[in-house]
Structure 1
Amino acid sequence: MTIAILGGYGAVGATAARRLATAGIPIRVGGRNLRSASALCEELGENASAHAVDLTDNRSLATFCAGATVVLNCAGPSYRVLDTVALAASAANAHYVDVAGDQPLLRRLVALPPSDRLAVISAGVMPGLTAILPRGLLGDDPARTAIDLHVGGPVRITPVSAQDILLATGPDFGTPLASWRDGEVVKGSESPQWNVTLPRFGHAVHALPYLTAESVDFARHHGVGELRSHSVYVSERIPTTLATAWAESPDDPTTWAEELAKAAAEDLSEHAPHYTILVRRRDLDRQGPTTWRLLRTTDPYRLSGVVAAHTVHAVLASASAGTYPAWRFLDPGETWAALAADPLCHTETHALPGEPG
């Protein structure tokens, strides 16, 4: 058994590698920088090996994937990687896990010929936990259930992530100012919330409605009555930069990646880093929320690494085959328990009397 981690020495990949190495699983750490990969492998011990890999070189990628049980992709940006690593994993007859990937990648993978291997994408924070955590709060009657999701906080934005964020526009990714109600996307039904107070966010924040494609798939699959999703910011810097980039450079908004990273850094100059996912469930027959869960961390990239490692373990334990987004593959209870036990995470569950915790 061997796990090959591409982008294995970055914040996401290194966190996943450390979690997997503690289980005694042989690890391959791959990427362009062999020195960085080697440094991590020295820390991980004799079960880890460093590999220079160029994902734009098919031969290099094939060599890295050969003989692996699972190929875990932590390299980006996602819009450039697409199915490159997934196809190499498939050719090597390995299972595949990707911390990123949205509808464009899912469409490509489900179109491949059937195999006895697993491919699990969106095994990170967003997309990923932003549907896994709501799934864990669904009651016995999803059609009479409303889910409110708030995600965000002041954290660094890497150049690679900035590019993916800037390109995450259009129907494949989501709809601003929309909600899910009674089986359909209702455009223009929500308004920005400025200077609002949310549990555990610590100060007044701005919550901007953005119904992700992941949330729509989740709500449709489970027949959820209502769902609202908000991106949360501590200032107007990031949303203003995004709006300007999309308006002034619609053909290539990635030219604004540096400005977006700068806006995040300016927020961090005023606030300690923290990233929060708040999920509140209410029954449509009642007033107010009945149950809520909160997950908080200082670094969403490392949190994605925790989710990725958990997903790899789940893949190794599964007898299933096929292609899935993580929220459809992972057990939400087991995932919540794994997060609650990890030192990178702070978790809370609050329920009214008689409600499940």
Structure 2
Amino acid sequence: MTVGVIGCYGAVGRALVRRLPEPLRLGGRDAARTREAARPGDEAVEVDIADASRLAGFCAGCDVVVNCAGPSARIGDTVARAALKAGAHYVDVAGEQLDRPRLAALAGDRAAVLAAGMMPGLSALLPRALAEGADRPARLVAHVGGLDRFTRAAALDYIASLDGEHATPLAAWRGHQPIRGALRPAERVALPHFPGRVSVYPYLSRETERLARALELAEIEWWGVFDGDRTLQALSGAGGKEPARAAEDLELAAGLDALGRRPYFQLVFDLDGRVLIVRSADSYELTAALAAKATRAAAAGRVPPGAHDASDVLDPSGVLQDLCEDPVVDVALPSQAPVEEGVL
């Protein structure tokens, strides 16, 4: 079994490599950093995604290729097409914007698992796990974030995700439909399960809309949480800026907010009063945890042929169980979540 990881020395790539014990084929544009990320037994390969020949050579012989490189909007389906043409399964920690029918036609008897990260990915699977066994769930409130750092690629993807194609800022799901302008950002508010006061930014992603329809929820409020004022200010002011500049400002603001403090990232889901909390040092660890689950599922033939979102083909309860067993992830199940007072 040969698993190839593109973008192996980035924040997600390194966290994923730690979770895949078998010898891996590791690929990156910087040869020295790729070798540094390799463990004994791993194969380090210099590969530039823009070089079709090198990328094809990297994918040749792989059973599964995992793309951890970014920004996703810039890479598009370049790695996906190379992997599937080489006869490998494909896993993408992002890829929400990719053309599913096009990749399905290319996949043949192989599987492409897209959106296998923290968000999109866990952001749909964990509410599904919470809803299992619930009797007609009606209302979900999600608070996702914390004191997290942004890599440049992550900042670019975050800015791109709020451009209206993948999410609607300030919207909520009410009365079984999206309502624009339903909510407003807020600074220095107290939230249950978050330390101190934080800033919040509401939005409704396409993934969340699909989740609402799948679970037949009447209401969803989804809040991005930022433990620091600068990050929210940078995000609120991103609308009129060129994406690269907006991403640079977001990366800098998050770094300044985190100076001298211990980073953390958590997902808090309240479904009709039942609360699930998943917490780690940063969002990249959570992305890698789901990517590892998707990689193992694809390698074992547990994903049907075609192109799918991770939230549609991975078992929500199994994902939650894996997180409970992950040494760098803390999970508080509904019966364990402490009751706290807060606003919003």
State the TM-score, normalized to the length of structure 2. Answer: 0.91
Establish whether residue 272 from structure 1 lines up as the match of residue 267 from structure 2: no
**Secondary structure in structure 1 of the residue aligned to 2:228:** coil
Does the C-alpha gap of structure 1 residues 101 and 11 become closer, same or farther in structure 2, counting only changes over 3 Å? same
Alignment of 1:53-202 (within 5 A): 53-102=47-96, 104-107=97-100, 109=102, 112-113=105-106, 115-140=108-133, 144-202=137-195
**Secondary structure in structure 2 of the residue aligned to 1:153:** strand
Does the C-alpha gap of structure 1 residues 345 and 4 become closer, same or farther in structure 2, counting only changes over 3 Å? same
- Cα distance in 1 for residues equivalent to 2:265 and 2:216: 29
Any unmatched runs of 5+ in structure 2? 337-344
Does the C-alpha gap of structure 1 residues 130 and 192 become closer, same or farther in structure 2, counting only changes over 3 Å? same
**Secondary structure in structure 2 of the residue aligned to 1:314:** helix
- Cα distance in 1 for residues equivalent to 2:132 and 2:219: 13
Equivalent position to 1:240, from 219, 229, 233:
233
- The letter for the 1-side match of 2:297 is A
- The letter for the 2-side match of 1:347 is V
1:235 Cα deviation after fit: 2.7
Residue equivalent to 1:253 = 243
Assess if the C-alpha contact under 8 Å between 2:56 and 2:82 holds in 1.
Answer: yes
1:193 Cα deviation after fit: 4.0
- 1:126-180 deviation digits (Å, cap 9, x = unpaired): 1111111111111556754211111011111111112212222333211122111
Assess if the C-alpha contact under 8 Å between 2:200 and 2:232 holds in 1.
Answer: no
- RMSD (Å) for aligned C-alpha atoms: 1.9
- Cα distance in 1 for residues equivalent to 2:50 and 2:216: 41
1:270 Cα deviation after fit: 5.5
Residue equivalent to 2:299 = 316
Residue equivalent to 2:311 = 327
Residue equivalent to 1:45 = 40
- The letter for the 2-side match of 1:169 is L
Any unmatched runs of 5+ in structure 1? 283-288, 353-357
1:272 Cα deviation after fit: 2.0
Assess if the C-alpha contact under 8 Å between 2:201 and 2:224 holds in 1.
Answer: yes
Moved more, 180-189 or 49-58: 180-189
- The letter for the 2-side match of 1:18 is R
Assess if the C-alpha contact under 8 Å between 1:61 and 1:88 holds in 2.
Answer: yes
Residue equivalent to 2:5 = 5
Alignment of 1:10-25 (within 5 A): 10-21=10-21, 25=22
Does the C-alpha gap of structure 1 residues 194 and 302 become closer, same or farther in structure 2, counting only changes over 3 Å? same
State the TM-score, normalized to the length of structure 1. Answer: 0.88
- 1:252-292 deviation digits (Å, cap 9, x = unpaired): 2212332211100111026321111001110xxxxxx1x11
Residue equivalent to 1:230 = 223
**Secondary structure in structure 2 of the residue aligned to 1:271:** coil
Does the C-alpha gap of structure 1 residues 58 and 209 become closer, same or farther in structure 2, counting only changes over 3 Å? same
- Cα distance in 1 for residues equivalent to 2:82 and 2:180: 39
1:350 Cα deviation after fit: 2.3
Does the C-alpha gap of structure 1 residues 259 and 228 become closer, same or farther in structure 2, counting only changes over 3 Å? same
Does the C-alpha gap of structure 1 residues 30 and 272 become closer, same or farther in structure 2, counting only changes over 3 Å? same
**Secondary structure in structure 1 of the residue aligned to 2:188:** strand
- Cα distance in 1 for residues equivalent to 2:61 and 2:163: 38
Equivalent position to 1:342, from 279, 303, 326:
326
- Cα distance in 1 for residues equivalent to 2:120 and 2:135: 21
Percent identity at matched positions? Answer: 37
Assess if the C-alpha contact under 8 Å between 2:117 and 2:291 holds in 1.
Answer: yes
- Cα distance in 1 for residues equivalent to 2:243 and 2:168: 18
- Cα distance in 1 for residues equivalent to 2:135 and 2:145: 25
- Cα distance in 1 for residues equivalent to 2:170 and 2:247: 24
- Cα distance in 2 for residues equivalent to 1:141 and 1:225: 14
Equivalent position to 2:25, from 24, 28, 38:
28
Residue equivalent to 2:340 = none
- Cα distance in 2 for residues equivalent to 1:152 and 1:142: 28
1:223 Cα deviation after fit: 2.0
Moved more, 320-329 or 106-115: 106-115
Assess if the C-alpha contact under 8 Å between 1:167 and 1:254 holds in 2.
Answer: no
Assess if the C-alpha contact under 8 Å between 2:100 and 2:307 holds in 1.
Answer: no
Assess if the C-alpha contact under 8 Å between 2:67 and 2:91 holds in 1.
Answer: yes
1:108 Cα deviation after fit: 6.4
- 1:206-239 deviation digits (Å, cap 9, x = unpaired): 2221111111112123322221100011233122
1:244 Cα deviation after fit: 2.1
- Cα distance in 1 for residues equivalent to 2:175 and 2:113: 29
**Secondary structure in structure 1 of the residue aligned to 2:334:** strand
**Secondary structure in structure 1 of the residue aligned to 2:333:** strand
Establish whether residue 298 from structure 1 lines up as the match of residue 281 from structure 2: yes
